[in-house]
Amino acid sequence: MRKVIVTPYQSKWQNLFMQEAKNIAAIFKTELVAMHHIGSTAVPGLAAKPIIDIMPVVSSIEKVDQYIEEMENLGYVALGENGIEGRRYFNKGGNERTHHVHVFEEGDDHIKRHLAFKDYLIAHPSIAKKYGDLKTALAIKYPKQIEAYISEKNDFVKEVEQEALTWYRLKEA
The model's pTM is 0.96
Domain ranges of the chain: 12-172
Q: Which class does domain 12-172 fall in?
A: alpha beta
CA distance 117 to 168: 9
Q: What is the dihedral of CA 23, 24, 27, 33, to 10 degrees?
A: -130
pLDDT of residue 98: 97
The DSSP secondary-structure symbol of 48 reads: B
**SS3 category, 35:** strand
pLDDT of residue 1: 77
pLDDT tens digits, the chain, 173 residues: what are they? 789 999 999 999 999 999 999 999 999 999 999 999 999 999 999 999 999 999 999 999 999 999 999 999 999 999 999 999 999 999 999 989 999 999 999 999 999 999 999 999 999 999 999 999 999 999 999 999 999 999 999 999 999 999 999 999 998 88
pLDDT of residue 18: 98
pLDDT of residue 63: 97
CA distance 65 to 171: 35
Strands (E), the chain: 32-38, 52-58, 76-78, 88-92, 99-105
Do residues 165 and 115 touch, judged by C-beta distance below 8 A?
A: no
pLDDT of residue 172: 83
Q: At what angle do helices 125-141 and 146-172 cross, to 10 degrees?
A: 170
